Amino acid sequence: MNQHSFIKIICCIALVLFSSSLQYATAQSSIIAIDVLLDPGKTMMDSAKVYNALMRKNYNGAGSFSLDATHNPHISVLQCFVKAADLEKVYAAVAKVVKSEQPTNEKLTTRGFYFIPVGELGLAGITADTTSWLMRFQLKLIEAVKPFIVVGTDAAFVQNANGAPIVAGTTEYVNGFILDHSGAKFNPHVTIGLAKKVFLQDLLAKPYYKFGFKSSSVSIYQLGDFGTAQKKLWSSLKN
């Protein structure tokens, strides 16, 4: 084999590998990480915002966040990956479940606070009782969306504006959501903010006064970094 033929073969192999990588990247960019969630009504929203303000005052660091359009208080019911081409079918499937289950009629009750330690800080939220209705609602959503669920990668999320990669573990969490966070493992909660761990430990030690609340709607968001509900794709209010 002469040098010209060898170079030609190498170039062909490189072209095939590049083509395969491009096809894989295109396929992954056509997959969307979604969150099917309950939008809490005014009672929960007001409470979440009060606690968020206290937490932001306690921890005024760069990682602090306010409850806004990209950090909207919600209860995640189902997180998964679906093809962008199937989104309309997913919306229709979720709409049927919403119509039959009427989630805005259900009264939920808070249970208490929780937080996940993040170094010297903690990501906190308000938990809600896992009712038989909530578990049935989640199961029906899983059954309705399951035909469209696929395995996803980091490319399926809303990407960070600063170019930082999606935090490690986020993709695995969504791929494993049904197995790890449904049925008896379902832990309905509303994330309310980031604060110093000592502050949150004191908060958990104080008496907690439960309250009832309702949901205003059901929405589907595209997930962003850390699994935040970042880009609204669909809402039951429009149907």
Instruction: Encode pLDDT of 159-173 as tens digits.
Output: 988 898 998 888 999
For the cut 60, the answer to whether the pLDDT of residue 19 exceeds it is no
Rounded CA gap, 118 and 111, in Å? 22
| b (16+ CB within 10 A) / e for 8-28 | eeeeeeeeeeeeeeeeeeeee
At residue 39 the predicted structure's pLDDT band, cuts being 50, 70 and 90, is: very high
CATH code that applies to domain 30-238:
3.90.1140.10
Query: What tokens were used for 36?
Result: 């099917």
Q: What percent of the chain has pLDDT over 90?
A: 58
Range of 18-27, 70-79, 147-156, 186-195 with top mean pLDDT? 147-156
**Overall average pLDDT of the 108-118 stretch:** 90
Query: What tokens were used for 91?
Result: 């919306």
At residue 4 the predicted structure's pLDDT band, cuts being 50, 70 and 90, is: low
At residue 120 the predicted structure's pLDDT band, cuts being 50, 70 and 90, is: confident
Give the residue among 48, 138, 55 at the shortest CA–CA distance from 101: 138
| Radius of gyration of the CA atoms of the chain, in A | 21
For the cut 80, the answer to whether the pLDDT of residue 234 exceeds it is yes
For the cut 90, the answer to whether the pLDDT of residue 71 exceeds it is no
Average pLDDT score over the chain: 86
